[in-house]
A and B are shown apart, each in its own frame.
Chain A
Amino acid sequence: MDLSYQEKSILGSLLAVTVVYGLYFAGVLRDMGRPDFDGASFPLGRLVGAVVAIVIIEIVYHIILAVESKPEPRDERDILISGKAYRNAYFALATGAFLVMTGVVLSLRPFLTANLVLLFMVVAELVKFLTQLFYYRRGF
């Protein structure tokens, strides 16, 4: 499959976010399954670790990508596709925000509230990447 520089960049970011936050949320589910789980504390260290891991993976991946394929500056089509992707991501995030607000009204515990907010932020990011890949493949 002939992928452009932008597509390779997005695909790398998509995989990094999926893997790193996949591991993060697997840890969250493990915490919730523990008998001593109280739902009050937040795994800040794990979150910081995930963010640092994403940053490092993105930097290393984009250095390798820049060496292997010539970086192309964004043009008007890239910007338009990006705009559509952010619009879809906004709807995903807004939906998530509404659901979390509903959860807070129903006395959701801090651990779940914070992780649900994070989950919907990650989902919005994934929606953005997938929308971009969709329009690059389908044509726009």
Chain B
Amino acid sequence: MGNIRNNIRKLRFNRSEMTQQELAEKVGVTRQTVIAIEGDKYSPSLEVAFRIARAFGVPLEEVFQYEAASNGSGRA
């Protein structure tokens, strides 16, 4: 989904293999939504993105990364 990548799988693994259901309950979304976000199939709202980062206790940038498109976006 676009150019947003995430480290949710790795972060879950580092948190004693937190399940997708546990993360979903902490964030307040369904497990299907966690699966879609983790698989880069859905880019969450800013609010949900912050809630995911808070659930892991890390800054937002550690969970999500934006990869600029190669067609020159971001040029002055």
Contact = CB atoms under 8 A, between A and B. Distances in A.
Interface of A: 4-6, 72-73, 75-78, 136, 138-140
A127 B32 CA distance: 22
15 contacts: A4-B32, A6-B30, A6-B32, A72-B32, A75-B29, A75-B30, A75-B33, A75-B48, A76-B48, A77-B30, A77-B33, A77-B36, A78-B30, A136-B32, A139-B1
Contacts of B39: 139
Contacts of A6: 30, 32
Contacts of B45: 76
Nearest to B30: A72
Given A6-B32, A72-B31, A139-B36, 18 more contacts: A4-B31, A72-B30, A73-B30, A75-B28, A75-B30, A75-B48, A76-B29, A76-B33, A76-B45, A76-B48, A77-B29, A77-B32, A77-B33, A78-B33, A138-B41, A139-B39, A140-B1, A140-B42
Interface string B13-57: 000000000000000111111001001011011001000000000
A138 B31 CA distance: 16
B28 A77 contact: no
Contacts, number: 40
Nearest to B27: A75
A131 to B, nearest CB: 16
Interface of B: 1, 28-33, 36, 39, 41-42, 44-45, 48
- Dominant SS among interface residues on chain B: loop
Contacts of B32: 4, 6, 72, 77, 136
A139 B9 CA distance: 17
A50 B32 CA distance: 33
Contacts of A5: 30
A133 to B, nearest CB: 13
